[in-house]
Each structure stands twice: as structure tokens, then as C-alpha cells.
Amino acid sequence: MSLDGAVERREGSPAGNGNGNGPVMAPPARPTYGDRRLRLNPNTEHKPERYDDVQSEFDPAIFSSLERHLPPSMLEVPRDAKVQFMKEILTRYLPEGERNRVQRHKEYRHKLMMAYQPLHKELYNLHPSAFFVPSFLKAVNDNTEESFRNILSEPSPGIYTFAMLQPSFCELLLDEVENFEKWVNAVKFKIMRPNTMNKYGAVLDDFGLETMLNKLMEEFISPIARVFFPEVGGSTLDSHHGFVVEYGKDKDVELGFHVDDSEVTLNVCLGKDFSGGELFFRGVRCDKHVNTETQPEEILDYSHVPGQAVLHRGRHRHGARPTTSGHRINMLLWCRSSVFREMKKYQKDFSSWCGECQREKKERQRQSLAATKMAFLKGSCLSPRLTFDLSKESDYTGVMSEKFRRKISVNWRNATKESVATSIQTHLRWKRPGNVGAKFDLFGYGERLLCIVLIEVSTVGAEF
Ligand SMILES: O=C(O)CCC(=O)C(=O)O
Ligand SMILES: [Fe+2]
């Protein structure tokens, strides 16, 4: 997918008659729809169509998500043309090997669903009042940050726990999973396990629960993720991987330290009686920093309770301690955002969520500020003009278009603290409020008043 700056252009290659003479044959007619550049930010006012009926290797929700990024000219065209356009983009970005894998998995799922007879049909459609405890239902119905905060605990930054499932729902689901596993053993169906780290457990989506879980994500998890995890795609979740994992002496015993293949993970304990099995969390990390040291404030050990949910970023490093007795069974919903994944490819700095990027950024700011102060104190910067050049800031080059990355120069002579504040506001007007902050610091040194301005990572100073 190309974003602002890289243009998607699909033009038929001109075909001649072979001898260079004669008329150049026009390529087969193909509608053109003007500028085909995708939008960097989704058009949140546009209500995308549903694509559930579209037969393709892509999840229909991805079409709906992508539609918000279409250029205005494409929003007006017939639905079929939109589908065609989006398929072309997606196909180019999904390698053939991956497409074949998706196709094989589709066939596997189809075979499984045709053969397996569900035990509790009522689980396969979402019935909110039968599934969820009233406090959770109310919070989601109210759908405000305050209503969510009323039911959530945050034992460590970015890890939210809350009561979610009715005991009767947990029992039914456990029963269904047991029934499914008995059937699998009886007919010797070789099932795929939820991921490479589990030898036990089952993918709920594979035997008919996909629609129910998708609704769970869209209507009950997305509203919370939108508020608490916007910086990792919490407001654009569009696909999921739903499964149960099982631990005990005769099953998987523990789960090693890992990050999930998700933007946001919901982990709900279904039961049963068990001891041990605590979850341990050790800070959020991007790919580059996934193996860096844990800071003391990032350590959390958490004991799960049936019916209780834990919601965290997929990149929050975690694992599960050995279950020492009984059986522990959890339902996991790995929620993903195709838009976030696409955007991530164009970014280098993840300090809005990676603990280590944040620490590195703070350190850069500290060093930069110290260097600027030092330069002033040495009297090497006597200009009354303040200059800062955002075009040199690597933090901005990936995310800000050229017109915003300009050089700003201000005359600070006779400035006061108030006039500096006003100037900074004026010069930052072109940014969205809250996007980039300016902090400044005035201090006296001998006869001179020094001004240090800190624009996120850039520090510049002027003397007047
Ligand atoms: O055992 C648990 O509760 C954790 C499971 C988990 O982290 C996972 O499956 O990704
Ligand atoms: Fe996990």
C-alpha cells in the first residue's frame, strides 16, 4: 500500500504493432478515477461499506478499513470498482506464498466446520446479557472513558483488568471446547494449534466461532481499545485470532516470555480450579528493542481469576508461570489493525508506546538540552535570533509532510517570558494542538538572559 508521497498509478503499458510503424494500440479500456493516492490518515467521517459477501483471500473487514484511506475520487465509484482497486493493492502486498497459505487455511476451516456438530449453539451468536456481567455491559453501553475507568483496574501502566464473563458462559464455552477436542480425537482430525508456543488448545475461529468473536471485538473491545490504546491501532482494529489455551500437568505447563502477534490482546480466564499459572509482564517494546532490559517499574506478576479479563498491548512482553495443579483454560483474542501495521512500516520512532524508545528519546532530549546550555554558557552562541529547523529532525521526517517542516527564525531581542510564550504559540500554529509541544526555559546568566526552547526533541537557544 502506498501512503501520501508514493503514488499508486495503474496505467496500461502501450502495446505497438511490433514494427514501430502504424498506430499505437490503446490498452484495453479501463476506467480511470483521477488521483489514486491513498490517504495517510483515515477519513473518519466516511462510513465504509460492508464487504462480507466479497469472495477473496482477504478478511472482509480489511476492505472496510482500507476504504477509509481511499482518495476522494474513489469513494464515488461503484462498489465493484472499489473492490477491484483495493484487491489490486492488497494482492501486491501479500506475497504469493502467503496467499496460498491463506487459501489452504480457508479450505481447512471449511472442512472442519462441515464435519463438527456444535454442542451449545447459543454460543455461536453473541448474546450480551448472557455472556457478560452487568457492570461490563453498562460500561460499554455508556461508552465513555469514565464508564470504562469505573470498571477497570490498571495494576501496571497499560495493563487493564476487569470482570467480564458470566460464570455460566465460561462453563458453556469450556464444555464446547471439551466436546470439540473429544470429537477431534475420536475422528483423528489433525487440528492446527493456536500458535507455535502451544501444543494444546484450540482455535475458536476454526470451528465456527469467528462471527461471534468478531462481534465481541468490534462492539465490546474496540470501544475500550480506542480510548486506551489509540497509539497502537486501538481505534482501527479490523481482524482477530481467537483461541483457547490449556495448561496443567498433562497439558502445556507454562508459557515462555513473548510478545503477541496482535495490537491489543484480550485474555480472559475461563477456569477451572488451578494453582500457579501467574501471568508476568515486563514492559512494552518495539521490534528493535524486544530484547532490552526490563526496568523495575515495568515488572508485574498477576494471578488470573475465572471470568476476569486482562487487556494489554500485544507488544507488552509477557509469559505465564507453570500451572502447578488443576487445569487453567483461557480465552485469547488477538486483535489486529491492518492500518496500524501498514503505517508502522514508515515509522522509526515508537516512543508513544515502546518503553525503550521513550527512554532513548528522553536521553536525546537531555543531552541536547545540556549541549545547548553549554554552548550558551561558553558564549559561543551570541545571536539574538532563535532558529530551529524541523526538517533535520528524524522524528518528524517520516510523519510530517514537507510544508510543515520549515525553518523558523525569531528575533528575541527585548523578549520577555510572556512574549516568548506568544511567539512560540504563533510559530506552532501550523501544528495540530497537542501534537508537538514546546517547552521553554528562561534563565539569567550574569548580565544576560538566556532562552532555551525545547521542541519535543530539538533544543535551541538564543541569547538576548
Ligand atoms: O496463559 C496465558 O494466560 C497467556 C496466554 C498468552 O499470552 C498467549 O497465548 O499469547
Ligand atoms: Fe501472549
In the three-class reduction of DSSP (H, G, I as helix; E, B as strand; rest coil), residue 200 is classed as coil
- Say if residue 311's pLDDT is above 50: yes
Specify whether the backbone of 154 is left (phi greater than 0), alpha (psi in -120 to 50) or beta.
Answer: beta
pLDDT in tens, 335-371: 999 889 888 888 889 999 999 999 999 998 888 777 7
Averaged pLDDT for residues 279-300:
96
CA separation for the pair 145, 378 (Å, rounded): 50
Query: Average pLDDT of the chain?
Result: 78
Q: Where are the domains of the chain?
A: 1-94, 113-344, 355-463
The pLDDT score that the predictor gives to residue 101 is 86
Q: Which among 10, 27, 28 is positioned nearest to 85, based on CA atoms? A: 10
C-alpha 300 – ligand 2 centre gap (Å)? 14
Q: Which among 129, 164, 138 is positioned nearest to 308, based on CA atoms? A: 164
Residue 356 · residue 402 · CB < 8 Å: no
Q: State the closest ligand 1 atom to the C-alpha of 260, by its place in the atom list counted from 1.
A: 10
Domain 113-344 top-level CATH class:
mainly beta
Where does 267-325 have alpha helices with state H? none
CA separation for the pair 233, 343 (Å, rounded): 10
Q: Which amino acid is at 157?
A: P
C-alpha 310 – ligand 1 centre gap (Å)? 10
C-alpha 341 – ligand 1 centre gap (Å)? 22
Mean pLDDT lowest for which of 113-117, 230-234, 375-379, 437-441?
A: 437-441
- Say if residue 265's pLDDT is above 50: yes
Averaged pLDDT for residues 185-208:
90
Residue 119 has a CB neighbour count (10 Å cut-off) of 15
Q: Which of 263, 279, 312 to mutate to test the pocket of ligand 1 (most atoms within 8 A of CB)?
A: 279
Residues with CB under 6 A from ligand 1: 245, 255, 260, 267, 279, 318, 320, 330, 332
Q: Which among 143, 302, 289 is positioned nearest to 225, based on CA atoms? A: 143
Q: Which among 347, 368, 331 is positioned nearest to 452, based on CA atoms? A: 368
Residue 36 · residue 9 · CB < 8 Å: yes
Residue 266 · residue 165 · CB < 8 Å: no
The pLDDT score that the predictor gives to residue 2 is 32
C-alpha 183 – ligand 1 centre gap (Å)? 24
- Say if residue 208's pLDDT is above 70: yes
Residue 86 has a CB neighbour count (10 Å cut-off) of 25
Q: Helices (H), strands (E): how many in the chain?
A: 14, 18
Q: State the closest ligand 1 atom to the C-alpha of 243, by its place in the atom list counted from 1.
A: 9
One-character DSSP codes across 317-361: EEEEPPEEEE-EEEEEEEEE-HHHHHHHTT----TTT-HHHHHHH
Q: Which three cell numbers stand for residue 44?
A: 473518519
Residue 176 · residue 126 · CB < 8 Å: no
* β-sheet with 438-445: strand ranges across: 438-445, 448-455, 458-463
Range among 144-153, 339-348, 371-380 with highest mean pLDDT value: 144-153
Q: Which three cell numbers stand for residue 290?
A: 524486544
Q: Which amino acid is at 265?
A: T
Ligand nearest to the CA of 241: 1
Residue 310 has a CB neighbour count (10 Å cut-off) of 23
Averaged pLDDT for residues 438-464:
38
Averaged pLDDT for residues 12-19:
31
Q: Which of 198, 274, 330 to mutate to test the pocket of ligand 1 (most atoms within 8 A of CB)?
A: 330
- Say if residue 184's pLDDT is above 90: yes
The pLDDT score that the predictor gives to residue 222 is 97
Q: Which of 245, 268, 323 to mutate to test the pocket of ligand 1 (most atoms within 8 A of CB)?
A: 245
The pLDDT score that the predictor gives to residue 34 is 53
Averaged pLDDT for residues 62-73:
87
- Say if residue 309's pLDDT is above 80: yes
Averaged pLDDT for residues 391-413:
40
**Per-residue confidence at 95, pLDDT binned at 50, 70, 90?**
confident
CA separation for the pair 264, 228 (Å, rounded): 10
Task: Return the percentage of the chain with pLDDT > 70, whole number.
Answer: 72
Q: Which of 244, 261, 267 to mutate to test the pocket of ligand 1 (most atoms within 8 A of CB)?
A: 267
Q: State the closest ligand 1 atom to the C-alpha of 320, by its place in the atom list counted from 1.
A: 1
The pLDDT score that the predictor gives to residue 92 is 77
C-alpha 299 – ligand 1 centre gap (Å)? 17
